Structure 1
């Protein structure tokens, strides 16, 4: 696995990889067409924000995942379906600095919640609506320092 820094110009690739990672995993939460343009536009913002570090997860020279965080918050992480259950996501999560100790996850995304909990993250009482329709609830997770 390689973490390749994502740069402006990668937003379309990032949006496509995110779509491949989420289209089936979140079908029970989001109905309707995938908001590819909105996701791409969000990646444009991420890639131009100097406070955020972003990467493409590359295996055998193919982008199969993504990672983005700022100093304290894990913003985005995911791997495409064919790499689920391989340990790749855990390897990517392990690369996140200890100072990054907060994240948001969809309440209905039980697979992701179990993943984070296996890796020491816990619900912390925060909640907010997701930015995409139908605006399902996201819950906050935090982790204790190692």
Structure 2
């Protein structure tokens, strides 16, 4: 998934009008981050999808299963990059990007595969800084646009993306989660 890039780590600035938070640092993730990313993944899903997905499904999410997934992902060669946000030395969020996997995408189209935060940092500017850092990296890598998929019913996430300049591009799909097919909407931004 992520390969050491040699890029310098940078402190992330917080967006204006958001609650003050301790400084964060955004860096490229490594296999050593697998457990922390798994914890963020499970916490993020439970917080973001409560009321959108069945409680039983969310309660059964396993950090151990996600950790295995992250370890495998970090070991895979490829163009995916996982960015992690740290606050006080603790991983509080991640964003995974790479080439778009959509059938209608050209080589200049990237994708944000996932972005999740620990609930306590939502609204502090960490997510915005992480998304901005990840899309700036995509731009540096030569991509001209990026897409992402979001659950249609996830209004909070949709507002977040729209405030960051992303717009629905008309593509819709369904994602099978647990025992339900849930409608998803594709968002796009020019880089």
Q: TM-score range by the shorter chain?
A: 0.7 to 0.9
1:4 is the counterpart of 2:27: yes
Distance, in Å, in 2 between the alignment partners of 1:114 and 1:34 is 28
> Matched residue pairs, number?
145
Q: Kindly state the Cα deviation for residue 73 of structure 1 after the two structures are TM-superposed.
A: 0.4
For 1:54, which of 65, 82, 97 is the aligned residue?
82
- Per the alignment, residue 119 of structure 1 pairs with 164
Q: CA deviation at 1:9?
A: 4.7
Query: Map of 1:79-98 to 2, 5 A cutoff?
Result: 79-96=117-134, 97=136, 98=139
Q: How far apart in 1 are the matches of 2:44 and 2:133?
A: 19
Does the residue aligned with 1:25 lie in a helix, a strand or coil?
helix
Q: CA deviation at 1:13?
A: 2.2
- For 2:158 and 2:72, the matched residues in 1 are separated by 26
Shift in Å, 1:45 = 4.6
Could you tell me which of 168, 182, 187 is aligned with 1:136?
A: 182
TM-score, scaled relative to structure 1:
0.86
Shift of 1:95: 0.6
Q: CA separation in 1, counterparts of 2:168 and 2:31?
A: 33
Partner Cα distance (1:128, 1:42) in 2: 24
* Structure 1 spans left out of the alignment, 5+ residues: none
Larger radius of gyration: 2
